[in-house]
Amino acid sequence: MSHTDPKGRPHPLGFWEERYAETPYAYGKEPNDFVREVADRLPKGRVLCLGEGQGRNAVFLAQRGFDVTAMDQSPMGLARAEALAAERGVKITTIAADLAEFMIEPLAFAAIVSVFVHLPQALRREVHQRVMGGLAEGGAYVLEQYGPEQSRYKSGGPEDPDRRPGLDILMEELFRLEFEIAREVVRDVTEGVYHTGLGSTVQILARRQS
Ligand SMILES: C[S@@+](CC[C@H](N)C(=O)[O-])C[C@H]1O[C@@H](n2cnc3c(N)ncnc32)[C@H](O)[C@@H]1O
């Protein structure tokens, strides 16, 4: 399923509201594979999950003892996130906001997480500036999204290549961070009903030193 309409524009909020009202959870209740892999490398403290949808990563991290805030433009997604948190016996904070206007508190977060949030190039650059400013010293940024090679696969993601940048572009945008993982992988992306099958993704774990 594409992340854009037939003219290549991002899906409007109504698209996500409808998707997130469906049963079952669109991307599953279990965390993203890369988030699960790196969770032990994140310093304890406050975590901000961007474009967090129905909260699978936020709830997983809350279960691991992090103090998690999940933001997304979709109130329906966040209502499902809160329901999942209640089901798992943890608390998360949710904020409904558009990333175009969402300011990240400076030096506040032990980790910031962005999973399959395919923003237009100009907004992504801006958000990455805010991410670099929002990390506390030693704080980590975790990103996974579909990469340039995803056009060969059918497991999801936007058709617009500007929304599927390669590592070179992402590393340039995140120039203030030190990269512990920066790789492009082809992997089985079976995460809910909308991301299923082989896919080509970029994965980043990067840290703010000072
Ligand atoms: C493919 S879903 C991924 C959801 C979640 N990160 C996950 O891995 O399950 C992309 C999410 O990005 C959110 N998103 C896209 N553009 C956004 C924006 N400008 N502001 C806030 N959220 C946005 C959508 O609402 C949607 O929940």
Q: 72 C-alpha vs ligand 1 centroid, how far in Å?
A: 6
Distance CA 147, CA 40 (A): 25
C-alpha–C-alpha distance, residues 103 and 125, integer Å: 14
Looking from the CA of residue 20, the nearest atom of ligand 1 is 27
Token pair listed for 49: 């999950």
Ligand 1, atom 5, residue with closest C-alpha: 52
Residue 161 CA to residue 101 CA, distance in Å, equals 24
Please give the pLDDT value at position 78.
Answer: 98
pTM of the full predicted structure? 0.95
Residue ranges of the alpha helices (H) in 75-163? 75-88, 121-134
Look up residue 153 and give its two tokens: 């696969």
pLDDT at 12 (0 to 100):
82
Contact 184, 34 (CB under 8 A): no
- Helices 75-88 and 56-63, axial angle in degrees (round to 10): 30
What local confidence, expressed as pLDDT, does residue 104 receive? 98
In contact, 135 and 105? CB cutoff 8 Å? no
- For the CA of 156, the closest atom of ligand 1 is 1
Q: Which residues of the chain have pLDDT under 70?
A: 1-10
Q: Give me the pLDDT at residue 23, please.
A: 86
pLDDT of 2: 42
Residue 163 beta carbon below 6 angstroms from any ligand 1 atom: no
Tell me the three state secondary structure of residue 14. helix
Q: Whose CA is nearest to atom 10 of ligand 1?
A: 117
> Is 25 touching ligand 1 by the criterion CB < 6 Å?
no
State how far the alpha carbon of 145 is from the alpha carbons of 65, 90, 209, in Å. Answer: 25, 27, 24
Confidence at residue 70, expressed as pLDDT on a 0 to 100 scale: 98
| pLDDT in the model for residue 194 | 82
Q: Which CATH class is domain 13-207?
A: alpha beta
Mutate to test the pocket of ligand 1, among 2, 92, 117 (most ligand atoms within 8 A of CB): 117
pLDDT of 6: 44
Which residue has a Cα nearest atom 13 of ligand 1?
51
- Quote the ligand 1 centre to 10 CA distance (angstroms): 11
Q: What is the pLDDT of residue 8?
A: 52
Q: What is the DSSP string of 39-57?
A: GGGSPSSEEEEET-TT-HH
